[in-house]
Amino acid sequence: MALTNQYIQEKLQEKFGDIVSNFEESYNVLSFEATAANNLKVLQFLFDEPSLQFQFLTDLCGVNFPDDAGREISVVYHLHNLAQNIRLRLKIFVPVAAPDVFTASNLFSSANWMERETYDFYGVNFVGHPNLKRILNVDEMDYFPLRKEYPLEDQTRIDKDDEMFGRG
Amino acid sequence: MLAHQQQHITLPEGSIEKQTTTLNVGPTHPATHGVFQNIMELDGERIVSTEQTVGYIHRAFEKLAERRPLNQITPITDRLNYCSSPINNMGWHLTCEKFLGVQTPKRVDYLRVIIMELARISDHLICNSIVGVDTGAYTGFLYVMQYRELIYEIYEEVCGSRLTTNIGRIGGFERNFTNTAFTKLEKFLVEYPKVLKEFENLFTRNRIFMERTIGGGAISAERALNYGFTGPNLRAAGVDYDVRVHQPYSSYQDFDFTIPVGKTGDNYDRFLVRNQEMWQSLSIIEQAYKKVQEFKGADAEIFHADVPAYYLPKKEDVYTKMESLIWHFKIVMGEVDMPKGEIYNAVEGGNGELGFYLVSDGGRTPFRLHFRRPCFIYYQAYPELITGGMLSDAIVTMSSLNLIAGELDA
């Protein structure tokens, strides 16, 4: 039987009830939200359940919504069932004050660096991660640069010494 | 001494020396072909453990993209996998088009397929010939460079540049292919098969090459999937996953080709899979070129879709027509609002699934843009591939994984 988004949604709601919510379909990909405390349970269920088999973690990244109080940091998982060729998007929201999410690196080896990258740029604390340190930025950096509170440099600023840039 | 025996000397009690040697390979080392650092613990020539450091050329592409309109993000994608920039460019255009709901004409799709497959050939060509260099055969590398040059000349004819191509626009191409471009493509189609055949003769059944590569850096299909391998590296392990077939884009469903797979996922299988893919790419280019030639008269002048909000109008129209002037201004100043929504779209890049995750809040620039960079994900497996093996095999493994520092560090 071909796997459909509707079936995935029913299966998840039947198993998890209120833990999963906000199901929506965009460009044929089903995306839904799970509570932060249960992300691993949902991922494990999607991995193990014989009729679902989402065993390939395509992508993991963070998103920052500064205006959404209590849900500022989001972690987005893109899963892929390669046999049935169907994609799925799982989102977790955590407050910026306590961005704790359980690590998926025991389930997917590929999550290791992607979680480090998400920590590096958004400061998400992946609980249980074997080696949670910065990966692309320098270790001494003391902020999380992809958060919206750090704007890119104002391109109209005039206090720079042009001579230093060969435009003197 | 047998290879599996421990080679270290026993140190006297209380010695402050270590039993193993620490060796820094990289960040800049001729054998790493990019900026990679590996701190290896060696027992003789055998690798006990390794620690990787990446990020030396991180350029904050994802942050930069957050204040650029869609068409200004294309040059950023050039600098990801710079061995096959056109695939990155096209992947980004295809993502935007899917997001905006733009339908491209068939001729545009076929022209894109030609360019993308040329880019795949040049990417695989570099990777495979570098594997040759690292096993001591420089000849193949120098020989095939001539044909990468020809591919770059075709890019130049289409878009004006060679390495960081910025090729195409949202909706199609910036200009139609010239006759010179097609002549060069024909030359390539005639001459390249012989070169590839000779390249294969040089390596495929070469005993030294086989002994250097067979069994080195092997990975099982199960581990490869768990590590998020994609592209030729995953296919060499025996999994026939190819984005071109699983989620066809740019009319790939109109072409007849096979997905070559390996068995053991070692350096030799990766080499063979890439070589096979080059033959498949050649056949796709031939088919696409035939299809392109079927467009006659006015149809042969189609090289872009009608996307006024993102495709720059003709210059003479900008001077004579009010509407064109308005769109020209809006595009150049980046004043076009995007629809709200989110999309993940992937293409088959030179070294794996290149994905774009775009989140838009309805503004003029992406709210968030994440690049799924295949080699960032599969490079994690490197310690597992080389631990227990020889240092010289680790070098071959690194080049056969097709790691591109620009893509890895974003």
* Architecture of the structural domain at A5-145: 2-Layer Sandwich (3.30)
Radius of gyration of chain A (CA): 19
Contacts of residue B37 in chain A, CB cutoff 8 Å? Answer: none
What's the rounded Cα separation, in Å, for the pair B287 and B295?
A: 14
Residues B236, B266: Cα–Cα separation, whole Å: 7
Which stretches does DSSP call E strand in B102-186? none
Q: Which is nearest to A121 in space by CA: B332, B134, B65?
A: B65
Beta carbons of B225 and A55 less than 8 Å apart: yes
pTM of the model: 0.92
Secondary structure (3-state) at A47 = helix
Nearest to A152 among B58, B63, B410 (CB): B63
Strands A29-34 and A86-94: parallel
Work out the number of other CB atoms within 10 angstroms of the CB of residue B56: 16
- HSE-CB at B271 with a 13 A cutoff on CA atoms is 33
Per-residue pLDDT at B32 exceeds 90: no
d(CA A32, CA A34) in angstroms, rounded, equals: 7
Distance spanning both ends of chain A, measured CA to CA: 69
Would you say residue B2 has pLDDT above 50? no
What's chain A's average pLDDT? 89
Q: Distance of CA B301 to CAs B108, B174, B175, Å? A: 10, 12, 10
Looking at beta carbons, which residues of chain A come within 8 Å of B98? 27
Work out whether strand A125-127 and strand B353-361 pair parallel, antiparallel, or are unpaired.
Answer: unpaired
Q: What residue has token string 């040697």?
A: B21
Asked if residue B131 has pLDDT above 50, the reply is: yes
Closest C-alpha to B289, from B394, B392, B154: B154
Which residues, 6 or more positions from B2, have their beta carbon under 8 angstroms from its beta carbon? none
Asked if A42 contacts A29 with a C-beta cutoff of 8 angstroms, the reply is no
- Does the pLDDT of residue A65 top 60, yes or no? yes
pLDDT in tens, A127-150: 999 999 999 999 999 999 999 888
Is residue B245 within 8 angstroms of chain A, CB to CB?
Answer: no
Neighbours of B324 (CB within 10 A): 18
Strand B340-348 with B353-361, pairing = antiparallel
Helix (H, G, I), strand (E, B) or coil at A123: coil
Looking at the predicted structure, is the pLDDT value of residue B1 above 50?
no
The correct answer on CATH 1.10.645.10 for the domain covering B61-409 is: yes
Going by pLDDT thresholds of 50, 70 and 90, the confidence category of residue B343 is: very high
Torsion of Cα atoms, B205 then B208 then B209 then B210, to 10°: 60
Q: Which of A29, A61, A73 is the best residue to mutate to test the B interface, defined by the most B CB atoms within 10 Å of its own CB?
A: A61
Residue B357, chain A, CB below 8 Å: the answer is yes
Question: Each residue of B93-123: pLDDT tens digit?
Answer: 999 999 999 999 999 999 999 999 999 999 9
Contact B357 A145 (CB under 8 A): no
pLDDT in tens, A6-53: 999 999 999 999 999 999 999 999 999 999 999 999 999 999 999 989
**Cβ within 8 Å, pair B62-A76:** no
Q: Given an 8 Å threshold on Cβ–Cβ distance, is A31 in contact with B370?
A: no
User: Mean pLDDT in chain B?
Assistant: 91
- Domain-by-domain residue ranges, chain B? 61-409
Question: Using 50, 70 and 90 to split pLDDT, how confident is the model at B18?
Answer: confident
